[in-house]
Chains A and B, each alone.
Chain A
Amino acid sequence: MDLHQFFTTARVLVVAGKGGVGKTTVSAVLARAAADSGLRVLVVELEEKTGIAGLLGGSGVLPYDEVLLAGGLGAGSSGEIRGRTITPSNALAEYLTTHGLKRLSKRLVSTGVIDVVSTAAPGIDDILVLGKLKQLEREVGTDGRLDLVVVDGPAAGHAITFLQSASGLLDAVRSGPINTQARDVLEMLGDPERCQVLLVTLPEATPVNELVETAYALEDRVGVQLGPVVVNAVDHGGALPDPDGVAALPAGDTGAALAAAARFRTERRAMHRAEVHRLGELLPLPQLHLPLVPTAGLDASDVVLLADALARCIKALPA
Chain B
Amino acid sequence: MTAPTAALGGLEQVVATTTVLVCCGTGGVGKTTSAAAIAYHAAQRGRRAVVVTIDPAKRLADALGLAGGLTNEPARIDGITGPGELWAMMLDTRSTFDALVRRDALDDGQAERILSNPFYRNIAGALSGTQEYMAAEKLYELHADERFDLVVVDTPPTRNALDFLDAPGRLTRFLDHRLYRWLMAPARSGMKVLNVAAQPVLRTIGKIVGGEVLADAIAFFQAFDGMEAGFRRRAGHVMQLLRSAETSYVVVASARHDTVDEAVFFARRLADGGHGVAAVVLNRLQPTFGSGTADEAAAAAAHCDNPELAALWSNLAELRRQAEREAATVARLLEVTPGVPVARVPLRADDVHDLAGIEAIAADLFA
The interface of chain A, by Cβ under 8 A from chain B, is: 18-21, 47, 49-51, 95-96, 101, 104, 107-108, 111-113, 115-117, 119-125, 155, 157, 172-179, 204-206, 209-210, 240-241, 243, 245-246, 248-249, 253-254, 256-262, 264-265, 267-268, 271, 294-297
Contact = CB atoms under 8 A, between A and B. Distances in A.
A296 B315 contact: no
B257 A296 contact: yes
B329 A111 contact: no
B257 A264 contact: no
B174 A246 contact: no
Contacts of B208: 95-96, 117, 176-178
A47 B27 CA distance: 14
A44 B279 CA distance: 36
Contacts of B207: 176-177
B212 A174 contact: yes
Given A253-B290, A253-B291, A294-B321, 8 more contacts: A112-B179, A122-B125, A174-B212, A206-B351, A210-B57, A257-B290, A258-B289, A265-B315
Nearest to A125: B126
A210 B28 CA distance: 12
Given A121-B118, A257-B316, A175 B179 contact: no
Contacts of A261: 289-290, 312, 315-316, 319
Nearest to B258: A51
Interface centre among A96, A204, A297 (most CB of B within 10 A): A297
A51 B258 CA distance: 8
Interface string B197-234: 00001001101111111101100000000000000000
A122 B126 contact: yes
A257 B289 CA distance: 5
B242 interface: no
Contact of B182 (A113, A125, A267): A113
Contacts of A115: 127-128, 174
B95 interface: no
Contact of A296 (B26, B125, B255, B292): B255
A50 B59 CA distance: 32
Contacts of B313: 258
A117 B209 contact: yes
Contacts of A47: 159
Contact of A173 (B28, B204, B213, B260): B213
Contacts of B128: 115, 119
Contacts of B260: 296
18 contacts: A108-B201, A112-B179, A113-B179, A113-B201, A115-B128, A119-B126, A119-B127, A121-B216, A172-B213, A205-B350, A205-B351, A206-B57, A209-B57, A241-B311, A257-B289, A258-B315, A271-B349, A296-B329
Contacts of B217: 116, 120
A258 B257 contact: no
Contacts of B125: 122
B28 A112 contact: no
Given A176-B208, A246-B308, A261-B316, A297 B257 contact: yes
Given A21-B28, A172-B213, A121 B122 contact: yes
B28 A262 contact: no
Contacts of A256: 290
Nearest to B130: A119
B257 A104 contact: no
Contacts of B209: 117, 120-121, 124, 173, 176, 178
B222 to A, nearest CB: 15
Interface in B152-173: 157, 159-160, 173
Contact of B328 (A209, A294, A296): A296
B287 interface: yes
B169 to A, nearest CB: 13
A209 B290 contact: no
A61 B214 CA distance: 34
B318 interface: yes
A48 B93 CA distance: 25
Contacts of A108: 201, 205
A209 B122 contact: no
Contact of B213 (A104, A121, A204, A248): A121
Interface string B117-135: 0110011011110000000
A246 B309 contact: yes
Interface in B297-315: 306, 308-309, 311-313, 315
Given A121-B122, A257-B290, A294-B322, A243 B312 contact: yes
A107 B313 CA distance: 66
Contacts of B316: 257-258, 261-262
A179 B211 CA distance: 11
A19 B26 contact: yes
B149 interface: no
B325 interface: yes
A19 B179 contact: no
Given A175-B210, A246-B308, A262-B312, A19 B127 contact: no
A112 B290 contact: no
Given A125-B126, A178-B209, A241-B308, A265 B319 contact: yes
A315 to B, nearest CB: 27
B224 to A, nearest CB: 12
Give 6 nearest A-B pairs by CB, closest first. A20-B28, A257-B290, A19-B27, A297-B257, A296-B329, A173-B210
B295 to A, nearest CB: 14
Given A262-B315, A294-B318, A296-B326, A119 B205 contact: no
Interface in B270-300: 287, 289-292
B349 A268 contact: yes
